[in-house]
Chain A
Amino acid sequence: MSADIILVIVVGTALAFDFTNGFHDTANVVATSISTRAMPPRIAVAFAAIFNFVGAFLSLKVAATVGKDIVDSDSISMTIVFAGLIGAIAWNLATWYFGLPSSSSHALIGGLVGSAFAAHGAHAILGDGLLGKVVLPAVIAPILAFVVAGAAIIAAYSIVARQRPGPVNRGYRLGQILSSGLLALSHGTNDAQKTMGIITLALVAHGNISADHFHVPDWVVISSASAIALGTYTGGWRIIRTMGSRIIKMDPAQGFSAQGAGAAVILAASHAGYPLSTTHVISGAVMGAGAAKRVSAVRWGVAGNIVVAWILTIPAAAIIGGFIYGVTRIFGSSSAVGPVVVSVLILVASAALFLKRAQGGGGLEAAA
């Protein structure tokens, strides 16, 4: 009975995380379209939500990586998965509150690694998988997106050089409808799968699925797709402002190049099963498209804040995940009381942050 309650809490928490992932990452998908006025904000967000939902059904390779290749699924309990999720949600809320576009994906992986480490020590962590499928792609992907977007915008400018800017901008704005749809699709493909992997990992720990026959049930796919789409629609307006205008002012050609490069990198990585950070990729692409035109056009101070958040994400979420695991253990390793108490506390903390945010507190205006 207690295990069933924990499973329900874990699934609910995972879907809540998926919602915050969509909420937090809306900026990745829509910022450039809004910044270049290719689409009105509300339409851009609705468009992104629909394509996020569709994208979640395209592939399951990333879900398999999250479920099998980062922590040892045989030594994972539902409490560990729960603590990892709370670590990720807490970090996501903190970076949302301060307007920093950190990585939900790395927060999730960091939280899971931290709670698994707290429970079983280093042997529960699959170091090769963590390094080869998370850390190295995390370093390579934004650099690749930066280079691809930079090369793409140089090619675009050389092709449309000496043309009247009015029709050219209109053309690229139309193109951005396609490129932002593709970016939303790629976001749904990569990010929704992480939640699918986490829920499936909990089902393995509960005994519903064998670790040797890892597969993602249909209801997990549909619920994860719905949660991320709903989160995306709800949107994160504060982060949209950071991504859309505080990093760089873009023209429609740059927006198209950045979105196209971002989508290409995320889709290629999803195909290979790498759980990438869509935030890292699109930030790299936006900076690449800006720097290729004029290095000083990129607001490197804001970009620096983003890089600091990237570096902090996995360790910070890991520390919180480990701490939460310790808190839940106080109430007993297989008791549902710990997850219930922590869930209530995180709900109260979230409500307080939302309330303070609504009243206009917090933010990084001074730092930017």
Chain B
Amino acid sequence: MIVAKIIDTDAAWQAVWTAAVAGIGVTIVFSLAVLGATRSTDMRRDDRPGQAAIYAVLALVGLAATLGAVVYAITLITTK
């Protein structure tokens, strides 16, 4: 009760969950990009172009999601 009086709990909670989702989410999508790039190289080397292409798409999507999340975060801060 006392804590709720001195701190804006809504703003604090929003900051906590936003930080958690962004911090963990960006690491996950970038890790998927790393996985995709690594596996794509391995598949190409093993002469499996189909799977190499699928992993390459995963790498690109992961990278795009990472960059998108960063741009979204900065936009949110500058516009609100």
Contact = CB atoms under 8 A, between A and B. Distances in A.
Interface in B1-41: 3, 5-8, 11-12, 14-16, 18-20, 22-24, 26-28, 30-35, 37-39, 41
B23 A264 contact: yes
B8 A175 contact: no
Nearest to A285: B23
Nearest to B21: A264
Nearest to A273: B11
B38 A168 contact: yes
A167 B38 contact: yes
Interface of B is mostly: helix
Nearest to A174: B34
Nearest to A161: B35
Contacts of B12: 136-137, 140, 272
A175 B30 CA distance: 8
Contact of B28 (A132, A155, A167): A155
Given A59-B77, A156-B31, A267-B77, A149 B15 contact: no
Interface in A133-152: 133, 136-137, 140, 144-145, 147-149, 151-152
Interface residues of B, number: 39
Nearest to A262: B23
A175 B6 contact: no
Interface of A is mostly: helix
A239 B4 CA distance: 37
Interface in A36-78: 58-59
B22 A268 contact: yes
A272 B71 CA distance: 18
A159 B28 contact: yes
Given A264-B23, A271-B80, A144 B16 contact: yes
A268 B18 contact: yes
A272 B35 contact: no
A131 B6 contact: yes
B43 to A, nearest CB: 12
Contact of B23 (A127, A175, A189, A265): A265
Interface string B60-80: 000000110010011011101
B71 to A, nearest CB: 11
